[in-house]
A and B are shown apart, each in its own frame.
Chain A
Amino acid sequence: MSVHMVEARGVEKRIRQLDILKGIDFHVDRGEVVSLIGPSGSGKSTFLRCINHLTKISAGYLAVDGEAVGYRREGNKLYELSDAEIAINRASIGMVFQRFNLFGHMTALQNIIEGPVQVKREPAAQARERARQLLDRVGLAEKEGAYPSELSGGQQQRVAIARALAMQPKLMLFDEPTSALDPELVGEVLDVMKGLAADGMTMIVVTHEMGFAREICDRVAFMDDGRMVEVGPPAEVFGNPQSERARAFFARIL
């Protein structure tokens, strides 16, 4: 199949008078791991949030797995979907947030089964079974009864990844997953993400971890001022940046 997992054509986002995204043309293939890098305020997170419609785009075309995000295409018209229809589409896209956003009133296990049981209507026993496997996979098998406030940042983020995986997504979005973590906890989260990448998950990662981008990602996209300035394999983008802005950015952070 030649359908891209994510396809963006001329995606723009305007908030009041401010242009956040100024025409993004981009695609991600099945099984690809792509990281979005760039200075803060460059629109990386906004673009990521557009992909699962947490943020609405102002213009352009954005599709996941061949289906327009938030709209239904019939001929040349895009019909806006209802809240319930958008929710169904979101269920197949996992998202991991910078601030974890685990449900504070639920244990780790309850956090993970909430989506499968409430949204997908899976039997609770089956959901619990899979949740335990997922907790084991992220190395937290013994923490199923712990509340988020009893877990470290790294543990919370790993539970958050398990919660997203429980919906059996075809695409995982990571919004600066390690930025809110103490330095010594970054590694455990990156390890889980590396495992996911090795299993063939399609992943888009907004990150400041250049080591992760260089080592794991198939491609790196450098964004600046609402545009995608450079896209390519990490060796090319890091080793031989074409644009002045990318060179200046790497000079500052590497």
Chain B
Amino acid sequence: MQTDPAKDVEGRSGASPGVPADAPSTAEHLEVVPRRSAWRFLPPLIVILIALQILESIVFNPRFEWALVGSYLFSPVILSGLAMTLGLTVLCMVTGVVLGVVLAVMLRSNLWIVSGFAKIYIWFFRGTPILVQLIFWYNLAALFPDLSVGIPFGPRFFGIDTNVLVTPFVAAFLGLSLNEGAYMAEIVRAGISSVDSGQEEAARSIGMTHLRAMLRIVLPQAMPFIIPPTGNETIGMLKMTSLVSVIALSDLLYSAQAIYSRNFQVIPLLLVCCCWYLFMTSVLTVIQGRIERHYSRGRHGGGPVGGGH
């Protein structure tokens, strides 16, 4: 019953341009002339000049040794460093996301000791520099020569020499993923709290437990808020892995450093690193853009349910 009058109105207004008597005949012949400033060529000119200057000083500067850069770009040492960087990024991000979800759920716990633990965790790992944390993990043996499992202040069941367990790789993995967990917790928490609390109430009213409501109803709707910043975190993590070179883990940067400490070609090898980092972040940026478009297009959840409010 509502659509009929609406169509009527549209029909009438749609017909009016067709009526020649109503339209002023001269209107069709008027041309719009945009204002053109005499200075409009200046900004592009400046940009082009600057670009040429950069091109000359970088690309045609012999001291950049582009030929050397090219020869090292695919050298086995660099490629194995690249594999380490990529592997570490993936491993630490996956662990960080899992930790983040766990911590975010803990933050919402009614038990103050559980939410308090999560708060202190986040406070500590966000409040100290990641570089310091990495060095700390690397030197864990100085604090705890033996690691053992047992009851606090009670008997120990088994132990292991810390230096055997905490290799540079384990130190890097622990440092980066524990740190990432703290940041991901904040992202997941923000995503969860952007889902209307009525969603969980409705889930519980049909007999779901707290956990099932979280997994089936709340988290899926928090995803559009969680995934884009997680993409940012992944790109950040990729670059952050270069910090592990200080604890002698042979990632991309450390591999380059290993080469230039022998042949002193510092700049070309750093350029090799830059090329690879830029390539990988570019690929990740494209993927992130795809994912974001996917979520903004097919987004059924997210905002408060109940259009018309």
Contacts and interface: CB of A to CB of B under 8 A. Distances in A.
Interface of A: 52, 54, 83-84, 87-88, 90-95, 97, 99-106, 114-115, 118-120, 147-149, 151-153, 156, 160, 163-164, 167, 180, 182
Contacts of A182: 308
A104 B209 contact: no
A93 B208 CA distance: 12
A101 B308 contact: no
Interface stretch (B12-20, B150-158, B199-207): B199-207
A91 B206 contact: yes
Contact of B202 (A83, A91, A101, A152): A101
A125 to B, nearest CB: 19
A90 B207 contact: yes
B246 to A, nearest CB: 44
A149 B305 CA distance: 6
B309 A156 contact: no
A103 B208 CA distance: 13
A87 B208 contact: yes
A148 B299 CA distance: 12
A103 B202 contact: yes
Given A102-B306, A104-B199, 7 more contacts: A90-B205, A100-B306, A101-B199, A156-B305, A160-B202, A164-B206, A182-B308
B126 interface: no
B201 A101 contact: yes
Interface in B157-181: none
B198 interface: yes
Contacts of B198: 97, 99, 101
A52 B205 contact: yes
Contacts of A54: 201, 204-205
B307 interface: yes
Contacts of A152: 307-308
Contact of B207 (A88, A97, A101): A88
Contacts of B294: none
B89 interface: no
B202 A97 contact: yes
Interface stretch (B64-72, B115-123, B215-223, B230-238): B215-223
B207 A115 contact: yes
Contact of A101 (B196, B220, B307, B309): B196
B221 A163 contact: no
Nearest to A151: B307
| Of A93, A104, A119, A153, most B-chain CB atoms within 10 Å | A104
Nearest to A166: B206
Given A101-B196, A103-B199, A118-B212, A148 B306 contact: yes
B136 to A, nearest CB: 39
A144 to B, nearest CB: 15
A178 to B, nearest CB: 13
B309 A103 contact: no
A119 B305 contact: no
B206 A104 contact: no
B297 interface: no
B306 A180 contact: yes
B302 interface: yes
Nearest to A107: B300
B207 A100 contact: no
Contacts of B209: 83-84, 87
A128 B198 CA distance: 24
Contacts of B309: 99, 153, 180
A95 B304 CA distance: 19
B298 to A, nearest CB: 10
B300 A105 contact: yes
A153 B306 contact: yes
| Of A54, A87, A148, A167, most B-chain CB atoms within 10 Å | A87
A104 B202 contact: no
Interface in B101-135: none
Contact of B206 (A83, A100, A115): A115
